[in-house]
Amino acid sequence: MSVSAVAADRSVCAPLPVLGRDVLVPLVTGGEVDYAALDYAASTPALQRVWDDVAAYAPYYGSVHRGAGYLSQLSTDLFENSRRTIAAFLGCRADDQLVFTRSTTDSLNLLAAVLPRNTRVFVFETEHHASLLPWEQRADLTVSYLNAPRTPEQAVATLEHALADREPYGPALVCVTGASNVTGELWPVRELAAAAHAHGARIVLDAAQLAPHHPVDLAELDVDWVAFSGHKLYAPFGAGVLAGRADWLQDADPYLAGGGASRKVSRRADGGVDVEWHTTAARHEAGSPNVIGAYAIASACKALTEAGFDTLVAREQELIARVRAGLAEVPEVRVLSLFGDDAPRVGVLSFVVEGWNSSHFAAALSAEYGIGVRDGLFCAHPLVRTLLGSDPQDPGECGAPDAAPGERSLNAIRVSFGAGTPDEHVDRFLRAVKELVSDGARWNYRTEDGRCVPA
């Protein structure tokens, strides 16, 4: 059997086939190996189902909401049906709106743009930068950053205390992640939503890491909005979603001004223009929409639903347990955790290795074993710095990231996986960790453009 055939055979262990499962990459030590993609938290590979659906539609691609021709009408139907499919996947309520965006970051910046004046925003310092930073872009919003909690109960208590003490009493928004992109730990979303609503605040859920691994239901969780990205949901075609309550979306000026967002534009006698904007989701979807991106997300939603989240979650929990048990056998490895070892989580784990700079370790995993992981601070700098604390970070042979003046260089390694991960990739990763810790790297490495690379 050829190497590629072996790779394809191994991949059948994964519940959902993904692109790239038979891609061969070279090793610095010689030979090739099928690439082990263990960086799902950054971008998941495309589902084969998604790719096939997009390829089947591509010849029929046309303008959306713009033409009377057959392809335009077909594309418009596909686009709006995709909206309904995703809304059902998210458990949207009858009066919710679903707006297509470019990503989670774009979705949360959109929400920040439509908040009423003088809204008070409460966000934990543990958030990804996509949900930590957008609120500062408006001078008329007040942002309260909450310290990292060490238990789910403390998270709820911290939020309740902050909301109760807010002055003046006015519009308020809580922003919280569903699953950490650093530790994979699940946050008490339903309890945080209850606390927010009890104090007259609204809540938005960053589901970028939650939606690919776990059911997300707006009505059940009782959140006001949810945001996520297609490229983290096995649909890497440049689209994202903001779904939830319509009132603030309808009351605000369009996120972008242009065609599609406007219903009527007319000249005034003084030479200016009057604009009547849409009150539907189109109000914030100016320009030609990304119909392929929207359709790709809808296809992924269908595939995950048909596979059954119960089955997917159960299998992923087995992989998590295997990874945690394997790393626990290596005393030099410390897995990062906010809520403790027993906290429920999705398939995302970050760790540090004593005596290794994390960039060096990640480079060796790639160059010597064909394993792709992530190293750094994962666009969640305050959280990772809190978790690393004063742990010693040996720069190793290369790859120590630049640190601010007076600050040590800190970084960690993240391994993440999902419905397309075969068992062999996890097994190879654990074997590689143990060999690198016990025997060291088999190659020399150097720093190039801030990255650790084989010399």
Q: Which residues are catalytic?
A: 379
Both tokens of residue 314? Answer: 């159960």
d(CA 203, CA 196): 7
Name the phi and psi angles at 170, rounded to 5.
-155, -160
Query: What sections of 90-178 are H helices per DSSP?
Result: 104-114, 129-132, 152-164
Both tokens of residue 431? Answer: 């074997």
DSSP state of 179: B
Both tokens of residue 394? Answer: 């040996």
User: Among 88, 138, 96, 89, which Cα is nearest to 113's?
Assistant: 138
* DSSP H or E segment with residue 453: strand 451-454
Strands (E), 46-117: 97-101
- Residue matched to tokens 């700098």: 381
Q: Distance of alpha carbon 63 from its chain centroid, rounded?
A: 29
Collapse the DSSP code of 274 into the 3-class scheme (helix H, G, I; strand E, B; otherwise coil) and give the result.
strand
The Cα-based distances of 120 to 139, 149, 163, 369 in angstroms read 11, 20, 9, 48
The Cα-based distances of 345 to 183, 185, 339, 342 in angstroms read 8, 4, 10, 9
User: Among 325, 334, 384, which Cα is nearest to 354's?
Assistant: 334
d(CA 291, CA 308): 26
452 CB contacts (<8 Å, ≥6 apart)? 357, 359, 360, 362, 363, 397, 398, 399, 445, 446
End-to-end alpha carbon distance in the chain: 33
Other C-beta atoms within 10 Å of 276: how many? Answer: 10
Strands ordered across the beta sheet of 374-376: 333-335, 348-353, 412-416, 374-376
102, burial (CB in 10 Å: exposed 0-12, middle 13-18, buried 19+): middle
What length does the chain have? 455
